[in-house]
Amino acid sequence: MRWLAQLSPEIRQYMLVTGNYWAFTLTDGALRMLVVLYFHGLGYRPLEIAMLFIFYEIFGVITNLIGGWLGARLGLNRTMNIGLSIQIVALGMLLVPSALLTVPWVMAAQALSGIAKDLNKMSAKSSIKLLVPSDAQGQLFKWVAILTGSKNALKGAGFFLGGALLSVLGFKGAVLGMALALLLVWISSLISLRKDLGKAKSKPKFKEIFSKSRAINYLSAARMFLFGSRDVWFVVALPVYLASEFGWDHWTVGGFLAIWIIGYGLVQGFAPRLTGKSSGKVPDGRHAFGWATALGVIPVFIAGAFTFQWHVQETLLGGLLIFGVLFAINSSLHSYLIVSYAGEDGVSLDVGFYYMANAMGRLIGTVLSGWLFQDYGLALCLWVSAGFIFLTALISIGLPKHSIPAR
> Of 159-163, 201-205, 240-244, which gets the smallest average pLDDT?
201-205
Q: How far apart are CA 31 and CA 43, in angstroms?
A: 19
Give the DSSP per-residue string, 320-370. HHHHHHHHHHHHHHHHHHHHHHS-STTHHHHHHHHHHHHHHHHHHHHHHHH
In-domain check, residue 82: yes
Burial class (CB in 10 A: 0-12, 13-18, 19+), 401: exposed
Give the DSSP per-residue string, 277-320. GGGT----HHHHHHHHHHHHHHHHHHHHHHHHTSSHHHHHHHHH
pLDDT of residue 339: 79
Q: Output phi, psi for 321, to 5 deg.
A: -65, -45
Q: How far apart are CA 350 and CA 347, in angstroms?
A: 6
Residues 334-383: tens digit of each pLDDT? 988 887 887 655 566 777 788 889 889 988 998 888 888 888 999 999 99
pLDDT band at 291 (very low <50, low <70, confident <90, very high): very high
- Mean pLDDT of the 146-157 span: 77
Range of the domain at 121: 2-396
3-class DSSP state of 169:
helix
In-domain check, residue 404: no
In-domain check, residue 348: yes
Give the DSSP per-residue string, 131-160. HS-TT-HHHHHHHHHHHHHHHHHHHHHHHH
pLDDT of residue 296: 96
Q: Is the pLDDT at 315 greater than 80, yes or no?
A: yes
Residues 106-145: tens digit of each pLDDT? 888 988 988 888 888 777 777 776 666 666 666 777 777 7
Q: Output phi, psi for 245, to 5 deg.
A: -95, -35
pLDDT of residue 397: 94
pLDDT band at 50 (very low <50, low <70, confident <90, very high): low
What's the Cα-to-Cα distance from 148 to each of 8, 37, 262, 267, 304, rounded to whole Å?
A: 22, 26, 12, 10, 32
pLDDT of residue 136: 63
Q: How far apart are CA 88 and CA 123, in angstroms?
A: 17
User: Measured on CA atoms in the order 29, 30, 31, 36, is the torsion positive or negative?
Assistant: positive
Check if the beta carbon of residue 64 is closer than 8 Å to that of residue 122: yes
In-domain check, residue 405: no
In-domain check, residue 136: yes
Q: How far apart are CA 215 and CA 205, in angstroms?
A: 21
> Of 88-97, 155-164, 182-191, 360-369, which gets the smallest average pLDDT?
155-164
pLDDT band at 257 (very low <50, low <70, confident <90, very high): confident
Check if the beta carbon of residue 347 is closer than 8 Å to that of residue 122: no
Provide the terminal-to-terminal Cα distance of the chain, rounded to the nearest Å.
38
In-domain check, residue 406: no
Check if the beta carbon of residue 365 is closer than 8 Å to that of residue 228: yes
Of 64, 50, 48, which Cα lies nearest the Cα of 366? Answer: 50
pLDDT of residue 320: 93
- Mean pLDDT of the 14-29 span: 80
pLDDT of residue 91: 93
Question: What are the residues whose beta carbons fall under 8 Å from the beta carbon of 41, sequence distance 6 or more?
Answer: none
Check if the beta carbon of residue 39 is closer than 8 Å to that of residue 98: no
In-domain check, residue 407: no
In-domain check, residue 37: yes
pLDDT of residue 202: 59
Which residue type is seen at 54? I
Which of 19-23, 271-275, 386-390 reaches the highest mean pLDDT?
A: 386-390
Check if the beta carbon of residue 22 is closer than 8 Å to that of residue 79: no
Half-sphere exposure of 199 (CA within 13 A, CB side): 9
- Please provide the average confidence, as pLDDT, over all residues in the chain: 81
Q: Output phi, psi for 171, to 5 deg.
A: -60, -50
pLDDT of residue 290: 94
Of 399, 388, 347, which Cα lies nearest the Cα of 128? Answer: 347
Of 65, 63, 54, which Cα lies nearest the Cα of 108? Answer: 54
Q: How far apart are CA 47 and CA 39, in angstroms?
A: 11
What is the pTM (predicted TM-score) of this model?
A: 0.77
What percent of the chain shows pLDDT beyond 70? Answer: 83
What's the Cα-to-Cα distance from 191 to each of 77, 194, 301, 378, rounded to whole Å?
A: 10, 9, 52, 49
Rg of the Cα trace of the chain? Answer: 20
- The domain total for the chain is 1
pLDDT band at 316 (very low <50, low <70, confident <90, very high): very high
pLDDT of residue 404: 46
CATH number of the domain within which 148 lies: 1.20.1250.20
pLDDT of residue 407: 40
Check if the beta carbon of residue 342 is closer than 8 Å to that of residue 328: no
User: Measured on CA atoms in the order 186, 188, 189, 195, is the torsion positive or negative?
Assistant: positive
